[in-house]
Amino acid sequence: MKSILRTAVLTASLLFASHAFAGGIDDLKAFVAQVHSARGDFVQHQITANKNASGAAAVKAGGTQSGNFVFARPGKFIWAYTKPYDQLLQADGDNFYVYDKDLNQVTERKLGSALGASPAAILFGSNDLDKSYNLRDVGVKDGIDWLELTPKSQDTQFQQIGIGFKDGTLAAMELHDVFGNVTLLTFTNVVKNPSLPADTFKFTPPKGADVING
């Protein structure tokens, strides 16, 4: 659950703009300016950094999770894990909720403290990117234009964030935390600026669930 909270606050998306000569930075700024809401699917891979007896760094593959998302700027989103187990992260613009179905438990906190300058703020927040991050284009790999974001604040759990766009559409994120772990996100079936019912992001705790204020 901690890894989910760390990246959740996480992730989805899409972009629509001419991609003829755009780099990753141009794509990201167009995404922030033009995509006010979106929905789609995601797959999340976790790579864990360890150290062996000699102190040398080593990595191992962690778990794979998948699900779907929907968001509307600023600060409204549903990030739902459906495999290998159900877990819901949701925000209504004011509060952030995490619902663990197996435990039938809801954790609630204020949205501002949950998003902060996290990767989720890029996708779901109001996004004054230049204020929070140093941006750098890092070229094309496997047909995807990548850029690198380095947080300006030292008070963050992420050292570096990679974002990739393909043909003007957000395709992937790569999150490097301060412990050396890497979370990879890929996005598919993205629909930009869909029409969403007014109550899409209203959260009602399931019957009988324990609610914890975090």
Q: In Å, how far are 31, 87, 93, 207 from 204, measured between CA atoms?
A: 30, 15, 14, 9
Predicted pLDDT at 184: 94
Token pair recorded at residue 43:
């797959």
Predicted pLDDT at 155: 75
Among 1-5, 59-63, 179-183, name the one with the lowest average pLDDT: 1-5
Contact 199, 21 (CB under 8 A): no
118-135 pLDDT tens trace: 777 788 876 677 888 899
Amino acid, res. 92: D
CATH code of 2-213, in short, is: 2.50.20.10
47-77 pLDDT tens trace: 876 655 444 444 456 689 999 999 998 889 9
Which of 153, 155, 160, 95 shows the shortest CA–CA distance to 128?
153
Predicted pLDDT at 47: 86
Contact 9, 118 (CB under 8 A): yes
Count of beta carbons in the 10 Å neighbourhood of residue 92: 17
12-55 pLDDT tens trace: 332 223 333 458 999 998 988 899 999 999 999 998 766 554 44
Q: How far is CA 98 from the centre of its chain?
A: 14
Q: Within 13 Å, how many C-alpha atoms sit on residue 170's CB side?
A: 29
Predicted pLDDT at 50: 60
pLDDT of 140 > 80? The answer is yes
Domain ranges, ordered by start, for the chain: 2-213
